[in-house]
């Protein structure tokens, strides 16, 4: 039996969607772009429900999203996104069966510290996976929108950036993310010694 997710009006979640058996769900640039377009379409489709994507990171075999709900449960939005992407992927690659491992995983974000830490965790995912040395090098996350290198699309970074002094918020967010990044780099160097 599927356990019912905890939800209340305005709840925010860290959502993870994984490929079945950890298989890749994105094989080329078009796949990444299509998934982002589906998110945008789903947000428009459910515009009256006022869902907000705060940040994201699309990895080869999984996705991290931070989503704020308003008046409706998360499942409507995630169901639409996953169903549309599965149809696209199965048709493009002549794939049969489940694309995703189970249903999506969601963790309720319960306080400001968890909100900030989760955004940093999401944006550092490609660094931890040793795909890039710096999160700004990874193009399939919202990090470059947060720091002003790219125009904001599908996300609302203000939910995170409003924690920082307005005038310097992009620079302060970079320092916040990179403080964890520097610790991670030190750990890697220690492992090599």
Please determine, for residue 189, whether its predicted confidence score (pLDDT) is greater than 50: yes
pLDDT attached to residue 191: 58
Structural domain boundaries, residue 70: 12-187
Q: How many residues does the chain have?
A: 193
Q: Residue 1: which pLDDT band, with cuts at 50, 70 and 90?
A: very low
Distance of alpha carbon 31 from alpha carbon 71, whole angstroms: 30
pLDDT digits (tens, 9 = 90+) for 33-63: 999 999 999 999 999 999 999 999 999 999 9
Enter the pTM of the model: 0.90
Quick: pLDDT tens for 127-176.
999 999 999 999 999 999 999 999 999 999 999 999 998 889 999 999 99
List Cβ neighbours of 9 (8 Å cut-off, separation of 6 or more). Answer: 69, 70, 71
**In-domain check, residue 94:** yes
- Distinct helix (H) and strand (E) counts, the chain: 6, 4
- CATH number of the domain residue 37 falls in: 3.30.70.1290
Domain count across the chain:
1
| 6-58-185 Cα angle (round to 5) | 100
Q: Is residue 192 assigned to a domain? A: no
**Coil, helix or strand for 137?**
helix
Answer for the pair 56, 67: CB distance below 8 angstroms, yes or no. no
């Amino acid at each position: 039996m599927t356990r019912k997710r905890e939800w209340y009006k305005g709840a925010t979640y860290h959502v993870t969607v994984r490929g079945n058996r950890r298989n890749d769900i994105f094989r080329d640039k078009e796949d990444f772009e299509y998934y982002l377009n589906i998110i945008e379409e789903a947000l428009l489709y459910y515009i009256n429900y006022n869902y907000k994507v705060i940040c994201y990171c699309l990895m080869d075999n999984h996705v991290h999203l931070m989503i704020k709900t308003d008046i409706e449960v998360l499942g409507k939005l995630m169901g639409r996104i996953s169903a549309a992407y599965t149809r696209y992927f199965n048709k493009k690659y002549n794939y049969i069966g489940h694309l995703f491992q189970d249903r999506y995983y969601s963790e309720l974000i319960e306080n400001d510290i968890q909100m900030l830490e989760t955004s940093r965790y999401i944006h550092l995912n490609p660094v931890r996976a040793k795909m890039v040395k710096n999160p700004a090098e990874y193009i399939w996350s919202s990090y470059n929108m947060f720091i002003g290198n790219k125009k904001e699309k599908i996300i609302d970074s203000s939910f995170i950036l409003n924690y920082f002094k307005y005038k310097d918020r992009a620079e302060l967010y970079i320092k916040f993310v990179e403080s964890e990044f520097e610790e991670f780099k030190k750990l890697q160097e220690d492992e090599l010694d």
